[in-house]
Amino acid sequence: MKKKVLVTGGTGFIGSHTVVELLQNGFETIIIDDLRNSQVEVLDRIQKITGIRPSFENFDLCDLPKLQDCCHRYPDIQAVVHFAALKAVGESVEKPLEYYGNNLISMINLLQVMREFKIPNLVFSSSCTVYGQPDLLPVTEHSPVKPANSPYGNTKQISEEIMRDTIAAVEGIKAISLRYFNPIGAHESALIGELPLGTPLNLVPYITQTAIGIREELRVFGNDYDTPDGTGIRDYIDVVDLARAHVKAIERLLNNKTKKNFEVFNLGTGKGLSVLDVVKTFEKATGQKVNYKIYPRRPGDISSVYADTTLANQELGWKADTPLEKTLLSAWNWEKNIRKKQNQ
């Protein structure tokens, strides 16, 4: 019997790649997604890649009766991977109630059904944003969690606290929180990838849209940081590597490889790269020129952050090993594929 995994936000960017990895590793998946930031065609694409069509439920996790009904209809769920959340830092400053309401109520509802339906394992999609600008680099899991600088970041911190407290009080639930650094790239089939609505906020989709001619120039936000070339440093992790880490986390929980009920892992490459490093590597990998201009710093940005990945490497038996060139080429192939489809 295949083990059943519920994936919230499973048609989204990281969710869809994780569903592919889960299916390819012998799990059965049930996606819950209300498609507010993704498209139903993703299900066809997942089927094309894996030969399996995941079960799909279209509703908002804030609707507890619907979530309970879903759990009735799919008995024996063994684990939940919780991606579904609002995720734009700037928007969260404008709309704090929407962010707190959506991201926290969905987390509370999920834990409630896990208790009610005796679903034992949870993997949560968290973020390195919980560390703010760390005092020491690279960032380990012991680095202090700093006061969040956006409601979005705060929802990740509070969600982790809600999980921790619930797990301490409710017997039979274990959880792993995965703190992602900067996920980029797309599946090598170019069938699934990141689909930003409107103007992209993140670096790599902005680069691919500039290279393809949708944007005139990449705005590089600041070249006066205390970094070798003055531009901001991040830890860019390939989305398929990231997806594989979720399978490892689920297996760790299912196979009782840990005695701890709540664990946290940083997921990154361990390598910090500047904005200009990424631009240059993209140009080299794809042969495409990227027009860029230096602009002032973007408010709220930190200078540098990158992960110490020792714990994930040792405990999960996982390592991000896709070369950056390959990841950026996958992002470019995906961009070309979306535009081709739009022009058909």
Stretch that binds ligand UFG, among 70-78, 90-98, 202-210, 310-318 (CB under 6 A): 202-210
Residue in 10, 8, 77 with CA at minimum distance from that of residue 46:
10
Of 43 and 186, CB closest to ligand UFG? 186
E-assigned strands of 28-153? 28-32, 55-57, 77-82, 121-127
23 vs 128 by CB, closer to ligand UFG: 128
The single residue among 164, 219, 336, 339 that binds ligand UFG, judged by CB under 6 A, is 219
Name the token pair of 138. Answer: 């690279």
Q: Does 37 bind ligand UFG (CB under 6 A)?
A: no
User: How many residues of this chain bind ligand UFG (CB under 6 A)?
Assistant: 20
* CA–CA separation, 193 and 15 (whole Å): 10
Residue 264 CB: number of other CB atoms within 10 A? Answer: 21
The two structure tokens encoding residue 61: 């996790």
Transcribe 273-296 into DSSP letters: EEHHHHHHHHHHHH-----EEEEP
Cβ distance to ligand UFG smaller for residue 45 or 234: 234
Establish if 301 lies at the interface with ligand UFG (CB under 6 A): yes
99 is catalytic: no
- Is residue 56 close enough to count as binding ligand UFG by CB under 6 A? no
Please say which residue, 57 or 235, places its beta carbon nearer to ligand UFG. 235
149 contact partners, CB below 8 Å, separation of at least 6: 132, 300
Question: Which residues are 121's β-sheet partners?
Answer: 79, 174
Q: How far is the CB of 194 from ligand UFG (least distance, A)?
A: 11
Q: Which residues bind ligand UFG (CB under 6 A)?
A: 87, 89, 127-129, 153, 182, 201-203, 206, 218-221, 232, 234, 275, 298, 301
Residues recognised as catalytic: 152
